[in-house]
Structure 1
């Protein structure tokens, strides 16, 4: 009997989770399908594969990553830790709860390297079309090999879409914004806050991107940071030089007018207005068409396309949990493909979707949202051999993080939490986050003595 062939589209954290899941089954003695992963970037890591480029990459493809140079984790690493590859295992010693970008990339790369799955990834391969033939019940996948300028076509039994949904910016229009003489970019194009030193910066948006880019810009010397919200303010105790105002009504040159009748002059604008589900390689009937929420419509158990259960999505949800949720989803999809449990019929699947959508409709607070996603992950893990971990303790870590931010938005990254997986208490970074201007892995992993010596003036 011919082995199944599985296509994974994207080698970011979700695609890497799928590769790890199949490798785990293979190491356990299971005969697994042939797996091919297509990644349009030159390396894996998805958003965590930082590029200085914006707009288009070296091949003329839209730049995928929205990562910026001086990003530090804005949530505790203890909430995203892999259950079967811990921070202790990777670094060999405790580290702080809020690592910078390079350190988190090193962690996810380390697990993928340990999995020995890189030979399953075809880099610089952009998927152009995925077509399903209902007669043969197989997919034809058309891919451009960007390095060799060749188009290839392959046939697969099932497809896993792991491209994420934080790379195609939502760019609304504002009356008069074309008259603004300064820089206007989307958060997708933001690469570093130093560029706004001494400037009056307007961030349009009231969520995590606005919060983090705003505080980063304040840290790097912006003259004034103003965040414009549409529904409600974030409500933190902002430091002097940072504040929130209601929605923008219109622009008149460098002046922004707000719906409360106030106005201010700005030097630059960053649109922190979110992202759209965008799957141009899929036919419209196979694409998620949903706002960014915790339970997108059309997905059985949040992963399998109801209209065609041979098509699966990983990481399509809005996210409190990240890496370990992608694992839970990947292990479930893997076991479904391996036939370790039977797929219910369409009516049963729809009833399951409706049940979870009904539960999601009752979610009214951040705490309820975190618990909803924890319950979702628990439901997936209970059906696979992925190591169960204390999801309630992760919820507690999330809630403590939220409380720390309310106390002081500038110092919450200096807090430490214990690992849910190992119990190891995180260290406190040798330098307070507001004072730490070197985001490199080398600086971060240096000792206090090393850090002190590095900060001494040269005589």
Structure 2
């Protein structure tokens, strides 16, 4: 009998898994029956931007934490697919730091070149899962019709991500704060912060990027508040770092070092929780956001039940191509091309990777560690090997670029590890670019739409809206428009 496989989620991880099975089918392999459950109306996960926050139109928690003005905060050369280059998709060099719509177009383009969409049930949420003697029972609901279906599957691949359930700490007096409070998960754009004094609580990528977005959009003052260590960049005028906020009194905030600031808005950049409400405790990963969650053999196989897999569950330096490496490995386990060792040997392998992780001294070594992890997976499959050491060098250069100029590092360019193509310089420096549409981004230099007369989304701005260009030559998306 043909096995039935459930993939939960059609974001970048689920899309990688679909592509992995399709690549095997194209190579002549017989693949299992696949059902991919996706609660949103289209694939792309976090990259499938929605204006909605809190609860969606079906009364379900909004999945995406994406905001309008997001540009890649890491070089695209570090996340490029080994089997589908940016050159192949766009037909020309583009910059190293594209906006969200461009990256969404890229990841969707690869899977839309095949017929894997037929495997996906959109607007369908998995309600619960139960282990059985011969697999799993999965109950799902079509959010449009309200119909509920209970089915049997031999294996489950969890590809739902772990950046959707916000970690929301409390702070003394915050209930009486007179301004606006939101978690980064609900942040949708910095235009509303123009002229305001903004407090970012957190010292990682969300705080850094949303803080700089607020500065770019004209915030009067951006204060970043750290718990343990300051990010320590050479911040531009109007951006500062202070120790942790310890108390609120109206719009006055007191910090651990005794500093006091008056603020108009607070953004909690305090991270996310591993949360899988559709799984029982016996199957649900419970871990801090780290590079090697305990309980997963090769970072993918659930130790307590090796018929359950996770893709994209770790903290990420690498993203899209790491999801590919994991998806190809999971696929080959399911197809019988890779034989899993017994439980004791798997546990020893997990301990080995955890011990190496615990000994890492700095961020540079973390990048090398994750590169070695990806190499270990790729060497076991037929996924195209690429120069992981060169990607490490790009990451290290990226970190140095940020130290030199946090406001302008996105103007740097790198060569593709896959094709050697040098990235193009975007026609407008990031700090001055107020229109992040794919049409403007791909506009040739010298076209009227690439002049200074373009759309400025900030309240009160009076720039002319950029002329849009037809989408000819781009991969379509059925009518629809990390460290990334």
| Common topology (TM > 0.5) | yes
CA distance in 1, matches of 2:151, 2:14: 19
2:309 aligns to what SS in structure 1?
Answer: strand
Task: Confirm whether residue 432 of structure 1 aligns to residue 429 of structure 2.
Answer: yes
Alpha-carbon shift at residue 452 of structure 1 (Å): 6.0
Which sections of structure 2, spanning at least 5 residues, go unmatched?
Answer: 454-462, 465-484
How does 1:31-430 map onto structure 2 within 5 Å?
31-133=30-132, 135=133, 137-430=134-427
2-side partners of 1:336 and 1:247: how far apart?
46
Q: Give the distance between the partners of 1:261 and 1:401, measured in 2 at CA.
A: 34
Instruction: Give the Cα separation in 2 of the matches to 1:4 and 1:14.
Output: 21
The whole-number CA distance in structure 2 between the counterparts of 1:453 and 1:270 is: 32
Cα-to-partner distance string for 1:113-140 (whole Å, 9 max, x where unaligned): 012200100000000111111x2x2110
Q: Deviations over 1:286-335 (max 9, x none)?
A: 11111000000000000000000000000000000000000000000000
Unaligned runs of 5+ in 1: none
Question: 2:459: which partner in 1?
Answer: none
Give the TM-score of the pair, scaled to structure 1: 0.98
Could you say what secondary structure the match of 2:87 adopts? helix
Residues 143-185 of structure 1, C-alpha deviations (whole Å, 9 max, x = no match): 0111111100111000000000000000001111001011000
Q: Report the Cα offset of residue 354 of structure 1.
A: 0.4
Describe the superposition over 1:6-46 as per-residue Cα deviations: whole angstroms up to 9, x where unpaired. 00000000000000000000000001100110000000000
d(CA) in 1 for partners of 2:74, 2:205: 10
Asked if the contact 1:159–1:312 (Cα under 8 Å) also holds between the matched residues in 2, the reply is yes
CA distance in 1, matches of 2:263, 2:124: 41
State the 1:262 CA deviation: 1.2
Structure 1 window deviating more from structure 2 (246-255 vs 388-397): it is 246-255
* Structure 1 partner of 2:479: none
| 3-state SS, counterpart of residue 368 of structure 1 | helix
Cα drift, residue 243 of structure 1: 0.5
Q: CA deviation at 1:451?
A: 4.8
Alpha-carbon distance, 1:341 to partner? 1.9
Note the alpha carbon deviations across 1:358-386, whole angstroms, 9 max, x for none.
11011120000000000000000000000
1:125 touches 1:143 (CA, 8 Å); kept in 2? yes
Are 2:68 and 2:189, in contact at CA under 8 Å, matched by a contact in 1? yes
* Aligned mates of 1:453, 1:221 — CA distance in 2: 22
User: Which secondary structure state, in structure 2, belongs to the residue aligned with residue 130 of structure 1?
Assistant: strand
Residue deviations 1:56-95, cap 9 Å, x none?
A: 1111110000000010000000000000000000000100
State whether residues 18 and 334 of structure 1, in contact with CA within 8 Å, keep that contact through their aligned partners in structure 2. Answer: yes
C-alpha distance in structure 1 between counterparts of 2:23 and 2:392, whole Å: 27
Q: Check whether the contact 1:430–1:451 (CA below 8 A) recurs between aligned residues.
A: no
How many angstroms apart in 2 are the aligned matches of 1:357 and 1:407?
33
Residue 409 of structure 1 aligns to a residue whose secondary structure is coil
Report the alpha carbon displacement of residue 454 of structure 1 after superposing the two structures with TM: 4.7
| 1:345 to partner: Cα distance | 0.6
Q: State whether residues 443 and 451 of structure 1, in contact with CA within 8 Å, keep that contact through their aligned partners in structure 2.
A: no
Alignment-derived partner of residue 472 in structure 2 = none
Q: For 1:423 and 1:15, how far apart are their aligned partners in 2?
A: 28
Task: Supply the distance in 1 between the matched residues of 2:32 and 2:208 (Cα, whole angstroms).
Answer: 43
Aligned-residue offset at 1:249: 1.0
- Kept in 1, the 8 Å contact 2:440–2:450? The answer is no
Aligned-partner Cα distance in 2 for 1:362–1:6? 37
Distance between the aligned counterparts of 1:451 and 1:284, measured in 2? 57
Distance in 2, matches of 1:452 and 1:38, equals: 40
